[in-house]
Structure 1
Amino acid sequence: MSPPPSGGTPFGASTPAGQFPGAGRAGFGSAAVSAMSMKWSALHDAAAVVCQLAGLPPEARRPEVRNFPAIMRDIGGWRHERAEQGVDDLAAIMEPGLAALLAVSARGISPTPAAQALWREFESARAALLALVPPLGVRRRA
């Protein structure tokens, strides 16, 4: 292959040295929403285990909880950004919390009081996230 013309690339496009056409931050579009949906679902799976360790009855997943990621995607803007950050923050709380509860339980110690505390934290954080859903009549992105 012959060297590219001066200032060009082997692909024929003129780009600054060291950069490729289309390089930069990738726009994942619906994949990002899918990632948030998966995290949201995984959080609720983990919360179900916490609920069980807390000695509480299982929680039914209400439609507003189940549909939260899709609603945030449709709304977009600052609410969607806050929702994504909030889901990540909640995962950062739940992951080590559940690991600690399972470790305590594996040692034969009752995790109930700690599981109840983690459940309350989960409920509180989730309620704050659900409060991002605007009241009916607020215009969503097209």
Structure 2
Amino acid sequence: MRDASARNPAQSLSVQWTALQDAAAAVAAMAGLAPERTSAQIRNFPALIKDAGGWRFELAEQTIADLTAMMQPGVTALLAVNARGQDAKVPALTLWHEFHRARTAVLGLVPDTGTLGPRRSA
């Protein structure tokens, strides 16, 4: 039997996207950065990329999976550094910058339509 994410890839992407933003916020905090103000572009990305569909949606799915694969061991390593009582600011800042660059690239997959938000939710 297939799970819900296999039946609804847009919903799965939305859940993964939200988890990535939460992980990035934790990394930013460990790096000593101020909390990021979430833009409409970041908040609405799952719905916007769903609307774009096709190769853009497929590439977004793969890129988000890659980002998840990067962030999971990175966060685990940062937590281990903290658990040993060591300063994790420099490696956290490095991970944050890598995440930020990759997130900027995936956000670029949404075509510029001139709209202020999605036509529907993901």
Figure out how many residues of one structure are paired with residues of the other and give that number.
113
1:100 corresponds to: 77
Paired residue type of 2:17: W
> Aligned partners of 2:62 and 2:36: how far apart in 1?
24
2:67 corresponds to: 90
* Runs of 4+ more than 6 Å apart: none
Rg larger in structure: 1
Question: Percent sequence identity over matched residues?
Answer: 50
Counterpart mapping for 1:1-142 below 5 A: 31-136=8-113
> Aligned partners of 1:135 and 1:54: how far apart in 2?
32
Paired residue type of 1:112: K
Encode CA deviations 1:110-140: one digit per residue, 9 max, x unaligned: 0000000000001000000011011226xxx
Mind listing any 5+ residue stretches in structure 1 that lack a counterpart? 1-24, 138-142
Encode CA deviations 1:17-49: one digit per residue, 9 max, x unaligned: xxxxxxxx99x7872111100000000000010
Question: TM (normalized to structure 2)?
Answer: 0.87
Question: TM (normalized to structure 1)?
Answer: 0.75
> Aligned partners of 1:29 and 1:56: how far apart in 2?
36
Paired residue type of 1:64: Q
> Aligned partners of 1:41 and 1:93: how far apart in 2?
15
In structure 2, the CA distance between the partners of 1:113 and 1:29, relative to structure 1 (3 Å rule), is: closer
> Aligned partners of 2:113 and 2:50: how far apart in 1?
16
Structure with the largest fraction of helix: 2
Mind listing any 5+ residue stretches in structure 2 that lack a counterpart? 115-122
